[in-house]
Structure formats: structure tokens, C-alpha cells
């Protein structure tokens, strides 16, 4: 395992009991972090997620809060910071996809999706400014290529992700002087190993990807961990695309 110099650091990952969130928690835990896995609903999923990280160099603790509520995400940050003195890493991973075209946006559904995708980081910002460790503080938001490119049916979430990337830049400027780096990672369709993608869709996307396969959650988790290292301290307000080169295709 590659050593990243993250041993002993405290991380809070939202939406961390499955998919990309769990892959991120696993990478940070494997790097020696004390990781808090945020979740909102399923106790069974939370227990299974924590159990799956047993035996790694770091520690894993489930933390139930609804980060879509401003008081929920703020309380989670305060709780972790009070227990450890400071928070080193905050990964914002929550989102909700409700397919709809730009000419047929369901405004209620759009607002609900925006609250899940954007508001947790907006609400967390004041608490993070006071809780994060100077010098080692890292905030990483998970975005998608749909923020800058048109994906059929992706209008609602694409708008939310574009707003998220804009907020990352504003937050990065305000927190840089405190030694806190704020960035985002962006990716295309993920192969999560389930049946949400048709086999022919997987083959078509893999054929278009220069690296020869679809992106998997672990690929993105690796990039998130790299942004949390000391060597990434001078990277501020950037969006790192992790897609195996898929976005380079015309």
C-alpha cells in the first residue's frame, strides 16, 4: 500500500456507507485516518460499511446525521472536532439524481436535489472554517462531468454540480490563508459493480475511454486521498477530472 502521510488524521465523509463514499472511507482508513462515515438512514448499511473496514490501519466510526439539514451537518462537524480537537478532512459526497430534461424541470424535485447536492457544503462552511486544522485541513467535494458538459436527462443534477464547483472556488479563496485547501474531483459514469448499467452501455463507454475501462469508485477515492496529502497543500479551488481520459474524446 502506498503511504500518503495521512496517518492519524481525522476525516468525515458524507454519504459514506456505499458506493463512492464507502470507497473514499476505505482509502482514507487504509491510509491510517480516523474516519467517520456519515449516513442518514440505514443502520444495517452503516454496520456493514464499518465492518468492511475492519483490520485496516485506521479506524472507522459510523455517524448518523442528515447532512441535508443545516443543523445536521454542522452538528456532525462539531461532534468530530470536539472529540479530536480538530477535523483534518471533510469529503462532501452526497447527491441525488432525478432524470429530467432542461425543458421539463420539475421545480420541486430540482429544489430537493439541490438541497442534497449543494446545501450540505454551504451549510458546513462556517463550522468547517472554525473546526479544520490549519495546514492539514482539506475539503474535497465530489462533482461530475455533467457540470460542464450536456448529459441527456442530467439537467437538474448538472446545474447543482455546476453551482457546487463555483462554491468550491469561492470557499477556496476564503480559506486558503488559513492553510485549508478546498478542491473538487469530477468523474463520469461510474461502474459500481451493480446492475444499474446495461452491459452494452458498459462496453460502449469502456471502448470510448482511452484507459480501456470505466471508472470505478476506487479510482476517484484515490484522487480524493491525493488531494488530502501535504504535497497537495498548494492546490486551491481546482476541479480534478478522474475519468480515464473519457472527457478528452471529441
Strand order in the sheet with 239-241: 59-64, 34-39, 10-13, 89-92, 138-144, 181-187, 239-241
Partners of 142 in the beta sheet?
Answer: 185
Give the C-alpha distances (Å, rounded to integers) separating 7 from 2, 18, 21, 76, 133: 12, 23, 19, 22, 15
Give the active site residue among 27, 36, 154, 189. 154
Rounded CA separation 59/211 (Å): 33
Q: Is 161 a catalytic residue?
A: yes
Catalytic residue among 36, 39, 161, 189: 161
Burial code (b: 16+ CB inside 10 Å, e: under 16) for 52-71 equals ebeebebebebbebbbbebe
- The span from the CA of 246 to the CA of 42, in Å, is 34
Question: Which residues are the active-site residues?
Answer: 154, 161
Amino acid at each position: 500500500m502506498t503511504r500518503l502521510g495521512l496517518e492519524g488524521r481525522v476525516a468525515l465523509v458524507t454519504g459514506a456507507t456505499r458506493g463512492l463514499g464507502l470507497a473514499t472511507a476505505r482509502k482514507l482508513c487504509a491510509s491510517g485516518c480516523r474516519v467517520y462515515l456519515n449516513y442518514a438512514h440505514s443502520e444495517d448499511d452503516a454496520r456493514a460499511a464499518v465492518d468492511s473496514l475492519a483490520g485496516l490501519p485506521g479506524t472507522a466510526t459510523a455517524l448518523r446525521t442528515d447532512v441535508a439539514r443545516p443543523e445536521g451537518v454542522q452538528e456532525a462537524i462539531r461532534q468530530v472536532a470536539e472529540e479530536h480537537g480538530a477535523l483534518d478532512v471533510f469529503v462532501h459526497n452526497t447527491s441525488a439524481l432525478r432524470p429530467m430534461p432542461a425543458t421539463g424541470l420539475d421545480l420541486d424535485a430540482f429544489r430537493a436535489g439541490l438541497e442534497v447536492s449543494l446545501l450540505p457544503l454551504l451549510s458546513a462552511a462556517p463550522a468547517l472554517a472554525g473546526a479544520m486544522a490549519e495546514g492539514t485541513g482539506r475539503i474535497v467535494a465530489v462533482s461530475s462531468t455533467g457540470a460542464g458538459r450536456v448529459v441527456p436527462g442530467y439537467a437538474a443534477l448538472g446545474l447543482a454540480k455546476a453551482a457546487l464547483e463555483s462554491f468550491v472556488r469561492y470557499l477556496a479563496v476564503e480559506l486558503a490563508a488559513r492553510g485549508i485547501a478546498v478542491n473538487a474531483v469530477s468523474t463520469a459514469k461510474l461502474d459500481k459493480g451493480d446492475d444499474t448499467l446495461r452491459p452494452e452501455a458498459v462496453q460502449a463507454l469502456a471502448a470510448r475511454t482511452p484507459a480501456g475501462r470505466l471508472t470505478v469508485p476506487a479510482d476517484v477515492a484515490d484522487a480524493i486521498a491525493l488531494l488530502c496529502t501535504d504535497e497537495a497543500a498548494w492546490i486551491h479551488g481546482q476541479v480534478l477530472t478522474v475519468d480515464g481520459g473519457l472527457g478528452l474524446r471529441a
